[in-house]
Amino acid sequence: MKLGLFALNMGPATAEHVTTVAGAAEEAGLESVWAGEHVVLPAPRVPPSPMDPTDRSLDPLFALAWAGAATRTLRLGTGIVILPQRNPVVLAKELASLDVLTDGRVILGIGAGYLEPEFRAIGANFPDRGAVTDEHLAAMRSLWHDAAPAFHGRFVDFAGVDAHPRPVQRPIPVTVGGHTAPSYRRAVTAGQGWYGFFRTPDDVAADVAGLRQAADRYGRPSDLGELELTVTPRTALTPELVSAYAALGVHRLVVLPGGDMRSLGAGTDVFLQTIEEAVAANR
């Protein structure tokens, strides 16, 4: 089982914290670190916001760039970027730059988002966020891979432009987050992987069934290969849990420090302890 660590950009959210945790993760043999995203949060906190508005959270790409500079082999994942809140032309440049600077270590986790107040503050399109997500992903791939990048859609329109350097990876692997029918469809038809956050083995069994139904209905392009399953468990890892997820076909577990979002504020030591415990459970 490949292991990753979630929330690199949260908790203390300082340069020293990111460097320390990324270095410890690489030294312990973890495959990846992951950074989540909320540009702003509702204040006061209201459901379904996962965090308090005063919780610290660095921009994921900045945090991953800092981690990449402090490591050599650690993969760098967004878990996730809220794609319809981003300008796809700018984001394509940012991700290509990160992939070049880290010699091809980026994993792009994307999601459609769900916090309407955040969309409203940014000026992003909340009602059409699913369709916007699909277009943004296709537009970025054109900028990364097409000899003459161009895209003409409802929400994105460009031609007669180019952007270099291109990413080192061809392609940058895309992991689609979400536990809904549109997310399953997006993962199956346009992603190298699927990401389930805070999921128990029973949850993942239902997710796998949903992914299979989407594959049966929409088909999967052969060039995408096998769908890689990534999961953040709901609790701390044990050997039994690792085996249960493996039996469901999960390829990667991205552990949450302390096993709970509330543990993120406890400091760097919680992150380091979680790394040790995850490695021990995976032996």
Per-residue pLDDT for 250 more than 80? yes
Extract the tokens encoding 18.
Answer: 């990111």
pLDDT recorded at residue 260: 78
pLDDT tens per residue across span 252-268: 999 999 887 777 777 99
| AA letter at 92 | A
- Whether the predicted pLDDT of 41 surpasses 90: yes
pLDDT digit string (tens) for 159-179? 999 999 999 999 999 999 999
Domains in the chain (CATH in brackets) are 2-281 (3.20.20.30)
User: What's the CA gap between 35 and 18, in Å, rounded?
Assistant: 10
How much is the pLDDT for 266? 78
The Cα 114–Cα 102 span in angstroms is: 30
How large is the average pLDDT for residues 180-188? 98
Q: Are strands 174-177 and 193-199 parallel, antiparallel or unpaired?
A: parallel
Mean pLDDT, the chain, rounded, equals 97
Is the overall model pTM greater than 0.85, yes or no? Answer: yes
Cα dist from 276 to 28, 138, 211, whole Å: 7, 39, 32
- Report d(CA 204, CA 255) in Å as an integer: 15
Tens of pLDDT, residues 62-120: 999 999 999 999 999 999 999 999 999 999 999 999 999 999 999 999 999 999 999 99
CB 85 within 8 A of CB 153: no
Q: Is 117 buried (19+), middle (13-18) or exposed (0-12) by CB count in 10 A?
A: middle
